[in-house]
Amino acid sequence: MDVPATDKGFTGSIPELYERYLVPLIFEPYAVDLAHRLAARPVGRLLEIAAGTGIVTRKLAALLPANTSITATDLNQAMLDMASSIQTVRPVSWERADALALPFENASFDAVACQFGVMFFPDKVRAFSEVRRVLAPGGVFAFNVWDRIEENEFAATITSALGLLFPQDPPRFLARTPHGHYSLAAIRHALHGAGFASAPGIDTVAARSRATSAEIPAIAYCQGTPLRSEIEAHKTPTLAEATEASANAIRQRFGAGEVDGKIQAHVFVVPC
C-alpha cells in the first residue's frame, strides 16, 4: 500500500503535541519493551531510524552500556529537533537521514531499532535492504508495528467518530497508515525480499492506553498526528469541532473521567 506524502507531515505544532500527549498515551510501553529487548544483547554500535521525538532513544540511552554508541535518525527535521531538545542521560548522535538511503557505511552497526516507523516507509523492501546493509554480521534489527485498528480502541473510536462527522470524505489516516501495515505475512515477505534469510522472531504485545480525560486521546490523535492536516483540509467542521466529536465518542464508549483502552502491536526481532 502506498503512503501518501501528507501522512508523513509531522510539522508545525505536531511534534510538540505528539511528545506531550501521544508518547505517554501509546508509545511509552512499547519503547520500554523494545529497549529491554536490545539491552539483553551485546550491542556496541546502535542505529535508530525514524526516531520521532526520541522516546526509544531515551530508553536506550538509559539501558544500554555506557560504551555503546547511539545514533538516532529521522527524516523529519522538526521531529528530530524536538527529540534532540530533550535531555538524555548520556550523549546521543542526532542525524537527519532517509531510511531508504542511509548515509552510513556497510556493516556499521550491531543493532538497528525502529519504533512504529516501518508503516511510513514508501518502499519497505528498500528500507529493509538499507538496514541489512548497515548491519554487521550477527547483528539484529528490532522494530514494531501497530496491529489492526480494531485492536487499538482509542484510534478505532476516533476514526469511527470522524467518519460520522465527515461522511462524504472521512479522514482515514489512522486506519490507512499507522494501522494499515500490520500483515505479518507481508512484513515477512518484505524482509525476505531485502535479504534477511533467517526467520524473524515475532511477538504480539497488548498494553493499556490510559488518560485522565477523553480530551487527551482526542487531542493526541486529532492534533498531534498527520490526521490533523487531513481534518484541516476539509475546512468545516473545524479541527476544534473534530477534536470535540472525538472526545465525545471516547466518553460514550469509555465513560467520563479517566479513560482506559486497549492497544496492541507486533514486535519483530530479525537476525542478520
**pLDDT 10s digits, 112-152:** 999 999 999 999 999 999 999 999 999 999 999 999 999 99
Q: Give the right CATH number for 5-271 from 1.20.1050.10, 3.40.50.150, 3.40.50.410, 3.40.47.10.
A: 3.40.50.150
Q: Which three cell numbers stand for residue 200?
A: 524473524
Q: Model confidence over 59-99: pLDDT tens digits? A: 999 999 999 999 999 999 999 999 999 999 999 999 999 99
Question: Max CA-CA distance within the chain?
Answer: 55
**pTM of this prediction?**
0.95
Q: Whole-angstrom Cα distance, residue 57 to residue 168?
A: 41
Q: Say if residue 135 is exposed, middle or buried (CB neighbours under 10 Å; 0-12, 13-18, 19+).
A: buried
Confidence class for position 4, pLDDT limits 50, 70, 90: low
The neighbour count for residue 256, using CB atoms within 10 Å, is 10
User: What is the distance between the terminal CA atoms of the chain, rounded to a whole angstrom?
Assistant: 26
Of 189, 175, 126, 170, nearest to 147 by C-alpha is 175
Q: Say if residue 160 is exposed, middle or buried (CB neighbours under 10 Å; 0-12, 13-18, 19+).
A: middle
DSSP three-state, residue 7: helix
Task: Please state the domain extents for the chain.
Answer: 5-271
Rg for the chain, CA atoms, rounded = 18
